[in-house]
Structure 1
């Protein structure tokens, strides 16, 4: 379940240079730390991660920089 959720998270991050495995590795710990209550809901995990963008590890944050920044917080609330 967690792997499938993180796969969707990686797809939502849409980084052209990183593979799904790279995205899952980069964000696994952050997803569990910040968004565990939303597992396995892929959309909620992605939204949760975006809400915590400034708190994510640098590697995970980089996965979300492919078009979206911390400014998403206000738009998603």
Structure 2
């Protein structure tokens, strides 16, 4: 959330370095349940292109779902 707006691009997200301000922003996000669902705080650091995840779980979520077939599923898929 940057200046009250929302973005799907984590690089454009607002980085809070003050815990109380981050908690306040989370409360504001939760009050906007008609716009955003499941808001939560995640550990991040400053990067050259905006905030960067510091935990692999957040990086995995940023990449989106991995709906690729593996193993026997991949063998049975026909083009």
**TM-score scaled by length of structure 2:** 0.27
Q: Which has the larger radius of gyration?
A: 2
| Larger relative contact order (Cα-Cα within 8 Å, sequence gap ≥ 6) | 1
Higher fraction of strand: 2
Structure number having the greater helix percentage:
1
Q: TM-score, normalised by structure 1?
A: 0.27
